[in-house]
Structure 1
């Protein structure tokens, strides 16, 4: 699991790579929760995530709740069809804006 963050304008972009499961969810949480503190516009680039377990879903929900509490929005970038299916089956998909490119994500977060 590799988690990095960067800022594009006023948007925080969190990039995750690898599997997000019970062994790596803590690392994903630590890598994502710090950079989003105080933010209202976040893009989670999960285009390089090959597996998402319930532990990963829990972290996504934590991120969503943190941003939503500040009336912000969270965009998921590059979610695979498999991950979208998992999120749809659990009802999590409706919490996020789905996009295929960074430019689409930035446009979705503009006021």
Structure 2
């Protein structure tokens, strides 16, 4: 798994690739939580994530709570149908806005 963070139009973008499971979730958590510290607009790009375990869901929830505490918003970009199904079945999808492309994600945040 690889995780990077960058800024696009003053929005923090966290991009992950590979699998987010019990082995890789700690790295995802470290990078993501450091990047979203004090931020109100966050995009998490999951386009290249093939698998998301419960450990990965826990990290997404932590990110959501941290950003929401600042009255912010988190948009998930590029979630596969399988990951969306898992998130919908567990109730996690209701916490996030979703977008197919990075530009759609930016537009959602700028419209808020």
Bin for the TM-score computed over the shorter chain = over 0.9
1:9 corresponding residue in structure 2: 9
TM-score (structure 2 length as normaliser): 0.97
Note the aligned Cα RMSD (angstroms).
0.6
Structure 1 runs, 4 residues or longer, greater than 3 Å off? none
1:62 corresponding residue in structure 2: 62
1:21 corresponding residue in structure 2: 21
Deviation at 1:9, TM superposition (A): 1.6
For structure 2, the residue ranges without an aligned partner over 5 or more in a row are none
**Take 2:105 and 2:9, find their aligned partners in 1: how far apart are those partners?**
12
Q: Secondary structure at the match of 2:74?
A: strand
1:38 corresponding residue in structure 2: 38
For structure 1, the residue ranges without an aligned partner over 5 or more in a row are none
Aligned pairs, number: 111
**Take 1:7 and 1:108, find their aligned partners in 2: how far apart are those partners?**
16
2:84 corresponding residue in structure 1: 84
**Take 1:12 and 1:97, find their aligned partners in 2: how far apart are those partners?**
15
